[in-house]
Amino acid sequence: MSFGQNFLKKIEKKLLEEKARVEHELAEFTVSTSKGQEIIFPEYGEQSAENAAEVASFDSDLSLKNILNSTLRDISSSLKRIKDGTYGICRYCGKEISRERLEIRPTSSSCVECKRKFSNE
């Protein structure tokens, strides 16, 4: 079973919408620099409690930035696989990933069996 153009267009649309959402969310607390997206360090004040809050906020933002960047990489990789005709093929065993899995998680690059095997489920 191979995926038809309608299915691939539907997935591509879903991925592009998710990409826009993630980029928007990332832009809310980062700025673009020559090094990429950098977190805006919060300035709450000079007191030690305020400094601690700044560090905690920065740490939280850093974690979120890493998650969002990872999500963007997965989306970009999926869009590239759609364009080069390898979307929906498991990167481990080469079998087709189920349509249901791709509809639920369009960035999947492995079939359920391989995911279970490699994540020790």
Confidence of residue 49 (pLDDT cuts 50, 70, 90): low
Residue 107 lies in a domain: no
* Token representation of residue 117: 């095997």
Residue 9 lies in a domain: yes
Residue 109 lies in a domain: no
pTM passes above 0.85: no
Kindly report, residue by residue over 76-112, the tens digit of the pLDDT.
999 999 999 999 999 999 999 999 999 999 999 999 9
CA torsion 29-32-37-43 (nearest 10°) is -40
Task: Specify the pLDDT at position 64.
Answer: 83
Q: How many domains in the chain? A: 1
End-to-end CA gap in the chain: 27
Kindly report, residue by residue over 7-34, the tens digit of the pLDDT.
999 999 999 999 999 999 888 876 677 7
Residue 24 lies in a domain: yes
- Cα separation, 95 vs 110, in Å, equals 9
Asked if 100 and 80 touch (Cβ cutoff 8 Å), the reply is no
